[in-house]
Amino acid sequence: MRTSSYLSGTSTRPLLGETIGENLHRTVTLFPDREALVVAQQGYRATYAELWEQTGALAKGLLALGVQAGERVGIWSPNRYEWVVTQFGAARAGAILVNINPAYRAEELKYALNQAGCRVLLLAAKFRLTDYQALLEQVRSQCPALEYVLILDDDWDDLLARGNAQPNKLLAEREATLQFDDPINIQYTSGTTGFPKGATLSHHNILNNGYFIGQTLRYTEQDRVCIPVPFYHCFGMVIGNLACVSHGACMVVPGEAFDPLVTLQTVEQERCTSLYGVPTMFIAELDHPAFSSFDLSSLRTGVMAGSPCPEEVMKRVQQLMNMRDVTICYGMTETSPVSTQSYPDDPLEQRVSTVGHVHPHLEVKVVDPETGNVVPCGTPGELCTRGYSVMLGYWNNPEATRAAIDTAGWMHTGDLATISEHGYVNIVGRIKDLIMRGGENVYPREVEEFLYQHPAVLDVQVIGVPSFKYGEEVMAWVKLKDGCTVTGDELRDFCRGRIATFKIPAYWKFVDDFPMTVTGKIQKFIMREHSVQELGLSDAALIKTA
């Protein structure tokens, strides 16, 4: 039995020392005629051989635009087949793909485009009720690096045709120059300082993470994986797409965004063997009125991740959805993302109540947040991760990088965890001021900084409160300027269309003061306790998670 809160992930399988394009080519060679990608809503199907041709055309299309290795190409779109083709095509061209959240509004879009220095932006014309083109036009003149804007609905075929007109030799020469440690992806995480930070990931980071996730799930070319989680997150593009492609499995995409009924229909129609989701998604599927009418017998495994996973939901997923080998993954964007994962053959109690074991080729430790010393087994402390999965850094933000990754290479997660004597990891809380709402990370400081712009707001503190549906929900305590009056509905209207919907507080409380320590530090834990009682959320607060 171990006594120290340190784990090292061993494996008989070596890390993959190849680029994403090289790995895709290897899979294409092995399984050219097997289905690679199915997007039900678009009526799209492609074999691995066809996906190779299309990603090559996209890559050559970028080369025709003059995109150099290391230049940034943004994609702002919900889940569509073009997203997947762009993910692999940009990697083959050596461009750095910048994932832009489909929920972003104009100001958030402008920040991401400028902070990353995107030269090219591929975007959907619209998503649900949001007109992406109109939002872009509001800020395009303020994005000096942005040279090319390509609308997926209008310009896609022309871009591929332009690429197909280029000689294959041109792409082969570019691919020959690429190295697996090159940066290949920037994903924005909300920032505690009020501004998102661009976690910069390499081929090596995300390809290996996807590969070992697939190994843990025992994927083969026979698997068909239903991916209703968003591609702009690591959950979709790494746990989803790269785990599939590195094992020859088929990526099955139900639609642009999550819909429980469409997801259940897709699992049945496509005979999916694996299903992904945050807890909220699985709850919506289980509770759908038509749930019992679907044949889910093809399922065997899947991943629940993205926010704390309630034990009872895990048990229901195993029992009612035939997902006997479902696993929980834990991680963060900055670690590509997965650091720990439960095994399909772990005892049931450990699979539903912990986030599993350290991943192969990675190290994790739990340290005292004050001293940095490793704590004894079973003692809570900050979880740190080290190894191939740790990001290259935050894009053009060396100060934030130094604050996150210490001199020994450990990524400090900000999560409080314990490690048992049997090597299981359990997440028990957070050091960071972070709200995890239905798979979306919300940093209160970012919302606070926005609300300070309202002329009636003197001070504001944002906290997370428990929610049956989302795990956590956003709440704002607001102190108004003298003589000013405003309602929660008015503040909500102020937020709409200007910040992402998931960041808008669901609850508002107007106060004269905030609870503070004698040194003037605001005590958000007391605010949360009071809010739980006032809002009648005590039962939601009792939900046990891994």
Complete DSSP assignment for 307-369? S--BHHHHHHHHHHS--TT-EEEEE-GGGSSEEEE--TTS-HHHHHHS--EEPTTEEEEEE-T
pLDDT at residue 465, as a whole number: 94
Give the distance from CA 121 to its chain's centroid. 20
Is residue 299 within 8 A of residue 276, CB to CB? The reply is no
Q: Which amino acid is at 421?
A: E
Rg (C-alpha) for the chain, rounded Å, is: 23
pLDDT at residue 444, as a whole number: 82
pLDDT at residue 313, as a whole number: 86
Give the residue extent of every domain in the chain: 442-542
CA angle, residues 204, 337, 366, in degrees to nearest 5: 110
Alpha-carbon distance of 399 to 370, in angstroms, equals 20
Whole-model pTM: value is 0.85
Judged on CB neighbours under 10 Å (0-12, 13-18, 19+), 231 is: buried
Which residues have CB under 8 Å from 76's CB, separation 6+?
100, 102, 104, 109, 121, 122, 123, 124, 132
Alpha-carbon distance of 270 to 225, in angstroms, equals 9
Which residues have CB under 8 Å from 107's CB, separation 6+?
139, 498, 499
pLDDT at residue 432, as a whole number: 67
Alpha-carbon distance of 423 to 175, in angstroms, equals 41
Q: Which two tokens stand for residue 495?
A: 């937020």
**Cis status of the peptide bond prior to 337, with omega within 30 of 0:** yes
Alpha-carbon distance of 250 to 252, in angstroms, equals 6
CA angle, residues 30, 32, 37, in degrees to nearest 5: 115
Alpha-carbon distance of 455 to 480, in angstroms, equals 9
Task: Spell out the per-residue pLDDT of the chain, length 546, in tens.
Answer: 789 999 999 999 999 999 999 999 999 999 999 999 999 899 999 999 999 999 999 999 999 999 999 999 999 999 999 999 999 999 999 999 999 999 999 999 999 999 999 999 999 999 999 999 999 999 999 999 999 999 999 999 999 999 999 999 999 999 999 999 999 999 998 654 567 899 999 999 999 999 999 999 999 999 999 999 999 999 999 999 999 999 999 999 999 999 999 999 999 999 999 999 988 899 889 989 999 999 999 999 999 998 777 788 898 999 999 999 999 999 999 999 999 999 999 988 888 889 999 999 999 999 998 899 999 999 989 999 999 999 999 999 999 999 999 999 999 999 889 999 999 999 877 776 778 899 888 878 788 878 988 999 988 889 999 999 999 999 999 989 889 999 999 999 999 999 999 999 999 999 998 887 654 567 888 899 999 999 999 998 888 887
pLDDT at residue 279, as a whole number: 86
pLDDT at residue 487, as a whole number: 96
Alpha-carbon distance of 415 to 5, in angstroms, equals 14
* Of 385, 348, 127, the residue nearest 258 (C-alpha): 127
Judged on CB neighbours under 10 Å (0-12, 13-18, 19+), 388 is: buried
Other C-beta atoms closer than 10 Å to the C-beta of 399 total: 9
The dihedral through the CA atoms of 266, 271, 276, 280 has a sign that is positive
Place of tokens 């991680």: 331
β-bridge pairing 457-467 and 471-480: antiparallel
Which residues on neighbouring strands pair with residue 151, listed in sequence order? 123
Is residue 187 within 8 A of residue 202, CB to CB? The reply is no
May I ask the CATH architecture of the domain 442-542?
2-Layer Sandwich (3.30)
CA angle, residues 174, 175, 177, in degrees to nearest 5: 70
